Amino acid sequence: MDRRKLLSWFGLGWVVSLLPSSLVGCSDAQSPTASVPATTSPATSPAPTAAASPSVAAAPAGNFKAIGTVAQLDKDGHLLSDKIAVVRDPKDSNKVLAVNAICTHKGCDVKWKSDKKLYVCPCHDAEFAADGAVLEGPAKTPLQRYAAKIDKGQVLVSV
Ligand code: FES
């Protein structure tokens, strides 16, 4: 094999190796997950529903780690730690819901709006329910969910 032919094979291999990562970079997919009931209960108001959005699937519970206290959660209305956001379930205040706070559209950090009981993305105004379900586009994929619970005054999330 001559030098020119060898170099052309290396060039072709390089182009082929870039193809899968280029295709993945175009998708906005994230995998969804679930929650576990909590053990305490302050009052809450009804939450928005996600009738037209894709369903949010349950995630298996693995090792739980504490990301804050119940006192902090109830004082601030939400907890945020390492891009994991936790709020009380607006439909059942005995439960907590944990989601990945990175928008599934283009990756901005979503913000919890306590008054509306939903997450809003500041970049293109996508809205997500407390359980991560898409309420308003342009995002099409729910926020990733994590199993979460309250134990001995701590908010625990399985990541
Ligand atoms: Fe969130 Fe576009 S990055 S809506």
Q: What confidence tens digit (pLDDT) does each residue in 27-78 have?
A: 444 444 444 444 444 444 444 544 444 445 455 556 899 999 999 999 999 9
Q: DSSP letters of 2-29? A: -HHHHHHHHHHHHHHHHHHHHHHHT---
Helix (H) or strand (E) holding 70: helix 70-76
Q: What is the pLDDT of residue 69?
A: 94
111 lines ligand 1 (CB under 6 A): no
Task: Give the span between the Cα atoms of 125 and 123, in whole angstroms.
Answer: 6
Print the SS3 string covering 74-131.
Answer: HHHCCEEECCEEEEEECCEEEEEEEEECECCCCCCECEEECCCCEEECCCCCCEEECC
Q: What confidence tens digit (pLDDT) does each residue in 84-131 have?
A: 999 999 989 889 999 999 999 999 999 999 999 999 999 999 999 999
CB 95 within 8 A of CB 35: yes
Residues listed for the chain: 159
Atom of ligand 1 nearest to the CA of 110: 1
Ligand 1 pocket test, candidate residues 102, 121, 140, 143, most atoms within 8 A of CB: 121
Instruction: Average the pLDDT over each of 8-17, 60-69, 132-141, 142-151 and give the range with the smallest value.
Output: 8-17
Residue nearest to atom 4 of ligand 1 (CA): 124
What is the value of pTM for the model shown?
Answer: 0.65
Is the C-alpha dihedral spanning 130, 111, 68, 56 positive or negative? positive
126 lines ligand 1 (CB under 6 A): yes
Q: Supply the CATH classification number for the domain 52-158.
A: 2.102.10.10
CB 108 within 8 A of CB 121: yes
